Amino acid sequence: KAAGVRKGCQVDEVAGTRVASGNWLDVFQKSPMPFELKLTCGGDLNGQGHGPLSHEDSQLLRVMVAKKPYGMNVQVNKVPRVVEVLPGFPAEAAGIRRGHVLVKVNDKPVDATNWFEEYQAAKLPFTMALDTAVPVQPDNPFFKARKKDKGSKHQHLSDKQARKKDKDSKHHHHSDKHTKRESDELEDEYEQALLDAEVLEALGGNLEDEFPEAVEEEEPVPTKGYEEFRCSVEALPFGMKVAAPPGSRPKVKGVIPGGPADHAGVRIGDVLIEVAGRPVTSETWFAAMQQAITPYGLLFRRPTTEHAKAAADKTAPRLLAVPAVPKSEP
């Protein structure tokens, strides 16, 4: 404060080195003292600022990852969204919550196609930006709205929505342009729209409180057409991307080339069965991997060559032979 640094100042240089949000802390910590800081400070003392030390947007959460395992389970439905934050891990301490969407790693925009590779490749320490206000799609299996009382659903409608319903209701009863069947279909569509709006409203309220509906039965462990594969995790991060929608077995969807999982022989399509000797499911695999003390073992079920080929044949497009039509005589 005595040097004139205030909230909103942007750090431009540390010890003569130009810095950005992805490397400023590393340069700051490694520079021998004393060293010079160059900052750009605007005139708004109450502003949020626009530099590595502040939030560019009020709905963005910027965090520094200085240690792994980080305790943040990211799964993709449409976007890379946090579905689980382990208590006591750095992610929780950084303020990351269930429902946040990862949008940047070291200032590089990420999405469903590249977030895992960028996250795994980033060298500690590095920065992440998460959007705290991205609505959840209604088809996201990791988030389900709490059930509401049907009798009270109209209490949540705005005045504009209520007037629209009243207008549509009168139109339903008095219009002679629609048959009864058509009117019933319109009413059903309207009711569905109301329910969809309530789902989105509930999901947008407090995502951290919205958990998947209880899975009645976990997908059985695959046996026929699969063989066992075991490997050892010597250190984390392991470089293995796992997809585990509620009720489905955790399945490997990506392996970082040249990473520990790749060297251990893990393949895309492997189904995770045990971590450190403990059976795991879609609900428990992530915590088991993050909390186990390395080295520990993993047990997978791997599709056999014949099974994998049969599965590929089922999804491959079929070409049908169409007999030639004989030309008619003139």
Q: What is the mean pLDDT of residues 40-63?
A: 60
Residue 48's pLDDT band, with cuts at 50, 70 and 90, is very low
Q: Which residues contact 187 (CB under 8 A, 6 or more apart)?
A: 172
Question: What's the Rg (C-alpha) of the chain?
Answer: 27
Q: Any alpha helices (H) in 72-228, and if so which ranges?
A: 90-93, 115-121, 159-174, 180-205
As a 3-state breakdown, the chain gives helix, strand, coil percent values, each rounded to 5, of: 30, 20, 50
**254 three-class SS:** strand
Start-to-end CA distance of the chain, whole Å, equals 99
- The mean of the pLDDT values for the chain is 78
Residue 4: the pLDDT is 62
Reply yes or no on whether the pLDDT at 296 is more than 90.
yes
pTM given for the model: 0.65
Tell me the pLDDT tens digit for each residue of 232-262. 999 989 999 999 999 999 999 999 999 999 9
Longest dimension (CA), the chain: 102
Tens of pLDDT, residues 192-205: 545 544 554 554 44
Q: Are 170 and 226 in contact (CB under 8 A)?
A: no
Question: What is the C-alpha to C-alpha distance for residues 113 and 198, in angstroms, rounded to an integer?
Answer: 30
